[in-house]
Amino acid sequence: MSLRIAVLQPDIEWAAPERNLARFEPHVAACGADLLLLPEMFATGFCLDPARIAEPADGPVLATLRRWAADYGCALAGSVAVSAQGVFRNRMYFVEPSGRVSFYDKHHLFTPGGEAAAFRAGSRRTVVSYGGMRFLLAVCYDLRFPVWLRCRDDYDAILCCASWPASRREAWCTLLRARAIENQCFVAAANRIGSDPAARYAGDSVLLDFRGRMLAEAGAEECLIRAGFDPSAVGAFRKEFPAWRDADDFEMRIP
């Protein structure tokens, strides 16, 4: 049975979480999905002044995600700037209708743009089991690092939330397909549109299957896209074409 996956591709008002959340809620209510993916820092935009926008680890944006999940019966995922244990994190939440919350702290911070100077990197991958599927959580720049995202038959789909600039849109589209193909997994990727003080964004959010084929794609407008992810289909494909068994073994050392 397929899991209904939706991706919201919005414009984001700069550093205005209450207005953004109010504008997004009708899309959440109407998504008709089992899981809805939102972009990176969806409540504020990709702001590198975390003292201005970060909330506590159990702050109002997470509370809103909890309420949406309970009210509309779908899981939600996306990243938020948080302040936890005295440091700032770019934290991707996965919130289930039951109230269960999982999170992933972005590991690859975008050093060229100053993110590594403003936030503390996470040190562990997060795989969430939900609806009969295993989801690896990833945030934006992580997409460029295939070793970090390498599947060892431990997940079925990648959820990637991003604020990926239009100037590098070819890399975005290419890397998403590459990660799907090399890991034989579904990919859901949520990017934003519009602009902020640092960049312009072209969208190009997608839902891909485990062969890298397009299931649904967005253009450069605010929209919601949907597709079904079938866990039995990805399992059958890996059994039929078990390329993952021939992958090079490695051990990851995290500083």
**Rounded mean pLDDT, 202-222:** 97
Does the pLDDT value for residue 211 go beyond 80?
yes
Give the residue carrying structure tokens 């579904």: 186
The more confidently predicted of residues 249 and 4 is 4
**Rounded mean pLDDT, 84-108:** 97
Does the pLDDT value for residue 243 go beyond 80?
yes
- Could you tell me the pLDDT band of residue 22, with boundaries at 50, 70 and 90? very high
- Could you tell me the pLDDT band of residue 108, with boundaries at 50, 70 and 90? very high
Taking each helix axis from N to C end, the angle separating 60-72 and 17-30, rounded to the nearest 10 degrees, works out to 10
Point out the catalytic residue in the list 31, 40, 151, 185. Answer: 40
Measured from the Cβ of residue 2, the count of other Cβ atoms closer than 10 Å reads 15
pLDDT at 249: 87
Say if residues 169 and 149 touch (Cβ distance below 8 Å). no
Does the pLDDT value for residue 3 go beyond 80?
yes
pLDDT at 252: 85
**Which CATH superfamily does the domain covering 3-246 fall into?**
Carbon-nitrogen hydrolase (3.60.110.10)
Say if residues 133 and 3 touch (Cβ distance below 8 Å). yes
Whether 239 sits among the annotated catalytic residues: the reply is no
pLDDT digits (tens, 9 = 90+) for 159-210: 999 999 999 999 999 999 999 999 999 999 999 999 999 999 999 999 999 9
Point out the catalytic residue in the list 31, 47, 140, 161. Answer: 140
- CA atoms of 137 and 161, how far apart (whole Å): 8
Does the pLDDT value for residue 253 go beyond 90?
no
**Rounded mean pLDDT, 37-48:** 98
The more confidently predicted of residues 6 and 246 is 6
Beta pairing partners, 229: 3
Residues 6+ apart with CB under 8 A from 47: 14, 15, 41, 53, 81, 196
List, in sequence order, the alpha helices (H) in the chain. 17-30, 50-53, 60-72, 115-118, 146-149, 169-183, 231-240
**Rounded mean pLDDT, 46-68:** 97
Say if residues 180 and 187 touch (Cβ distance below 8 Å). yes
- Could you tell me the pLDDT band of residue 254, with boundaries at 50, 70 and 90? confident
Angle at 189 between CA 91 and CA 217, to 5 degrees: 155
pLDDT at 2: 95
Q: Where are the domains of the chain?
A: 3-246
**Rounded mean pLDDT, 22-47:** 98
Burial class (CB in 10 A: 0-12, 13-18, 19+), 86: exposed
Beta pairing partners, 4: 228
Q: Is the pTM of this model over 0.75?
A: yes
pLDDT digits (tens, 9 = 90+) for 126-155: 999 999 999 999 999 999 999 999 999 999
pLDDT at 251: 86
- CA atoms of 251 and 26, how far apart (whole Å): 45
Point out the catalytic residue in the list 31, 74, 106, 161. Answer: 106
- Could you tell me the pLDDT band of residue 1, with boundaries at 50, 70 and 90? confident
Average pLDDT of every residue of the chain: 97
